Structure 1
Amino acid sequence: MEEGRWLDISYLLQGTALQKEVHALLVRLNVMTLLRHYHPIFVGTIPLGIQVEDSDLDIICEVHDREAFAAQVGLHFGEMDQYSCESRIVDGIPRIKINFTVEDWPLELFGQPRPSKKQNGYIHMDVEARVLNILGSPFRRQVIELKCQGVKTEPAFARLLQLEGDPYQAVLGLGKLSEMELEALCRERFIN
């Protein structure tokens, strides 16, 4: 996967019908342009093609001023169904989460004061894309099957790759591996 692929949502146009539908929705909302100063990146299961029925649209942002971010998002999307805004501090890091529904799609905007590409949501997605690229359709099917049973994405990857400990941290740890190391681990641990 080439560096920067995830930064421009036009890659969705080369994907599935659902990915093209989501691209059209994000373009209609103009959300990526409206939030461009926050370096938005569309992350999660839909870019990876492993979404299930209740998957949402996740966009992460680099947010240093939560109040300004909330005001800007509220100005453009505050009238949307099920609009909510939550701001708190987790592990010493301020974060803001804004949720709303548009055209039956739940959308979540998440921000914290670190570059979007350094946030866990981006790192998880990038690692998961690498694993999917290595292990292909059999692995993808098993991830989706686990997700249909209610298992979240990172725990599904951790289970299938026999990773120990906290699944979110374990998947993050895979991001430190070279392609060769990651491929060796995947081929050794995934039982098809």
Structure 2
Amino acid sequence: MNDWRKIDDLNRGTAVQKEVYDLLTELDIMNLLTDYNPLLVGTIPLGIQVEGSDLDIICEVHDPAKFKALVARYFGAMEGFVSESRVVQDIPRTKINFMAKGWPIELFGQPRRTELQNGYLHMIVEAEILAQMDDAFRKQIIFLKTSGWKTEPAIAKALGLVGDPYEALLELEKLPRSALHALCRSVQARGQV
């Protein structure tokens, strides 16, 4: 089982994952952000990235101005650097984007432990689903993503989930693993993918 709190597993993964590991190590970004408990989430750790996928790093940010100043000090001169803070559903959120060696990087911060943020919870359940499903399912997800779908809607569609895909995956994350595995077996048996 992966320890998603570290990027070390990337260095033992696919060629793309190794490239990302090298980039993040060269930038020293995880160390520079250590006070913010950074976690790389999304398609790269899961191995379902497509062309244009970005590197999503979530952070625990209680002081957006301080966070933005730190990131600007180290990465403000990078191509496409932009930062914004806003409040969504009464939660302050900070988003910083820039490019590094052809990779779009997005830093996302909110005043919540990174292990409790939706991006991490989505990745955990997506990893479990991908581990239970066959290669045809993974290919279906990648196909949907190359067709413009975001990861969560693509997985929800492939599983036959209805309603808000982001919320549906959060509900699946709460299930006992035996129930999640049963759902995956049921989808496989129906040949939904």
Quick check: TM above 0.5? yes
Report what 2:86 is aligned to.
88
Report what 1:185 is aligned to.
183
One-letter identity of the residue aligned with 2:183:
L
Q: Secondary structure at the match of 2:160?
A: coil
Report what 1:161 is aligned to.
159
Aligned ranges 1:90-105 → 2 under 5 Å: 90-105=88-103
| 1:100-131 C-alpha deviation (Å, 9 max, x unpaired) | 00111100000000000000000000100000
Q: Secondary structure at the match of 1:52?
A: coil
CA distance in 2, matches of 1:189, 1:177: 16
Q: 1:137, CA displacement in angstroms?
A: 1.3
Could you list the structure 1 runs, at least 4 aligned residues long, displaced by more than 6 angstroms after superposition.
none
Where do 5+ consecutive residues of structure 2 fail to align?
none
CA distance in 2, matches of 1:137, 1:177: 23
Normalising to structure 2: TM-score of the pair? 0.96
| Percentage of matched positions with identical amino acids | 56
Aligned ranges 1:9-88 → 2 under 5 Å: 9-88=7-86
Normalising to structure 1: TM-score of the pair? 0.97
One-letter identity of the residue aligned with 2:9:
Y
Q: Secondary structure at the match of 2:174?
A: coil
Q: 1:134, CA displacement in angstroms?
A: 0.5
CA distance in 2, matches of 1:104, 1:8: 23
Q: 1:138, CA displacement in angstroms?
A: 1.6
Q: How many residue pairs end up in the alignment?
A: 190
Where do 5+ consecutive residues of structure 1 fail to align?
none
CA distance in 2, matches of 1:180, 1:55: 31
Q: Secondary structure at the match of 1:175?
A: helix
Q: How well do the aligned residues superpose, as a CA RMSD in angstroms?
A: 0.9
Q: Secondary structure at the match of 2:77?
A: coil
CA distance in 2, matches of 1:168, 1:80: 31
CA distance in 2, matches of 1:136, 1:106: 29
CA distance in 1, matches of 2:119, 2:143: 21
